Structure 1
Amino acid sequence: MTDTLTIVSLLPGLQDTNGDAANARVLAQRARWAGFDAVVLDVAPGDALPASADIIVIGSGSDAALPAARAALLPMADRLRELVTAGVPLLAVGTGWELLGVGIDLADGSVVEGIGLVAGRAVPAPARIADDLAVKSKYGRLIGFENHSRHYVGAEGSPLGRVLAGTGNGNGQEGLVMGDVFGTHLHGPVLARNPGLADHLLRLALARRGSDYVPGARSDAVDETARAARNQVAVRLKLPAE
């Protein structure tokens, strides 16, 4: 055992429309199965970020919640920048990712300014996108559900992966990787469906602490269930099974 791994869940009360807050619990459980103590720390609006963090996650919320979520993130912006600059991995999904960018252009012509933690901005798509999404990435083939009404531009040089089926960013790419910040449209929650990405985040976090991460034996059955779920979607998308 090592000292407790702290997984920070940002604004789970606002940013959990598609069950994305469960990504924090997935990380904590996989860390425990690997023999590490782990705790999920929920950070609500008005709360300060902890003095230390090992992984940070933020999920997606409704467009109606964008102003409240932005207001809650603004006081955290400098500290978030310090943490990610120090190498703390951060996973952001949907509008949580959009809020970390430069800004969000809404369909009515108004703009919600982002906190500028990563490059790029969200711009209106011609129609709402709600479908299965499959992505080729160096973390394995990622499969989930996308549910958004905007494309993401300005991150073409650093995508999470290439779209195999679905829309993603709207340009054949999906997501964003800047340093150890990962943005994606994938819901599911993404780490439950794609444990290879969860394990990558855990390896990054534990390497910062001088520890090696090796998935625990109890992960095997869960990973097989996740693989079967991905393959069910792959069949619908006419992609080969893993």
Structure 2
Amino acid sequence: MSFTIITLIPSLQNTNGDAENAAVLAARARWAGHEASVVAVETPADLPEQVDAVVLGSGSDSSLDAARAALLPFHDDLRRWGTEGVPILSVGTGWELLSWGIELANGHVVEGLGILPGRAVTGDGERRIGDLVIRSPRFGRLVGFENHARDYLQAEASPLGRTQAGAGNGRGSGQEGVVMGNVFGTHLHGPVLAKNPAFADALLTEMAGRAGVAYAPGAQAAEVDGYAHAARSSQLRAAGLDTD
């Protein structure tokens, strides 16, 4: 089986390397014996015929308007992919751009694409920076690093998980991220799929299932996952939590 993973507008949305989550999916698919490619998509003309997963990384606030304008031509595609169950991973401002809207501290509002419920709103003035650990009902414990100035509201019915360390969505919600089917929004930087192999494998299982084939992690994944486990353990200890 051959999989195609796309990264949307990585020229604007890869500030923290989160677009490289696509490379994680492709590598793990290859280790499992499948062919896989990553396609950078800046305009609709770049779209491949087949899309098995979508990654939208995080960008800077200064480019939010430009990023929204670049994403707008993909609105119908994103709707269709979400309806069809194509895994879509959005991180940081990439997630916020898929929401109902983004409220900036200067009063400017960037209208979101309305793919995911909720909206990003100004916080208390303190930037949320540090370790972020959550417990997800679908993926177990997820670790990463958060770096955001906004809170996220109206995602209470569908969070990615509950926070064990860090602010997550903020406003005392005790929650992090948002999920709608196979569309995910999160503050977890890392890239999140490199630090959390179970999350990556769950997305690959969805991809394989849609294609009518099986997915099982390859032998090389076990070696790489050992490095991920060590990094996770170090981060969990630093956050004052028990290791896996």
Return the letter of the residue paired with 2:223.
A
Report the secondary structure of 1:203's partner residue: helix
Q: In the alignment, which residue of structure 2 is the partner of 1:75?
A: 73
Superposition pairs for residues 60-209 of structure 1, below 5 Å?
60-126=58-124, 127-138=126-137, 139-170=139-170, 171-209=173-211
State how far apart, in whole Å, the 2-side matches of 1:177 and 1:52 are.
Answer: 23
CA apart distance, 1:13: 1.2
Task: Confirm or deny: 8 A CA contact 1:16 1:60 kept in the other structure.
Answer: yes
Residue of 4, 7, 29 corresponding to 1:6 = 4
Task: Show CA shifts across 1:27-85 (max 9, x none).
Answer: 00000000000000100146453332000000000001101110011011011111111
- In structure 2, which of residues 47, 51, 54 is the aligned counterpart of residue 53 of structure 1? 51
- Looking at structure 2, the residues matched to 51 and 22 of structure 1 have their Cα atoms a distance apart, in angstroms, of 21
Asked whether the 8 Å contact 1:93–1:185 carries over to 2, the reply is: yes
How far the C-alpha of 1:108 sits from its partner, in A, is 0.8
Q: 1: CA distance between counterparts of 2:140 and 2:219?
A: 20
Unaligned runs of 5+ in 1: none
Q: Distance in 2 between matches of 1:122 and 1:50?
A: 31
Equivalents in 1 of 2:152, 2:45: separation in Å?
29
1:25 maps to 2:27: no
The counterpart of 1:216, out of the listed 215, 218, 238, is 218
Question: Could you tell me how far apart the structure 2 residues matched to 1:37 and 1:61 are?
Answer: 29
Aligned length: 240
Normalised to the residue count of structure 1, the TM-score between the two structures is: 0.97
Contact 1:163 1:172 in 2 (8 A): yes
- Unpaired runs of 5+ in structure 2? none
Judge conservation of contact 1:24–1:40 (CA < 8 Å) in 2: yes
Report the alpha carbon displacement of residue 219 of structure 1 after superposing the two structures with TM. 0.3
TM-score (ref. length: structure 2): 0.96
Retained in 2: the 8 A contact 1:48–1:76?
no
CA RMSD of aligned residues (A): 1.0
Q: Is the 8 A contact 2:40 2:46 kept in 1?
A: no
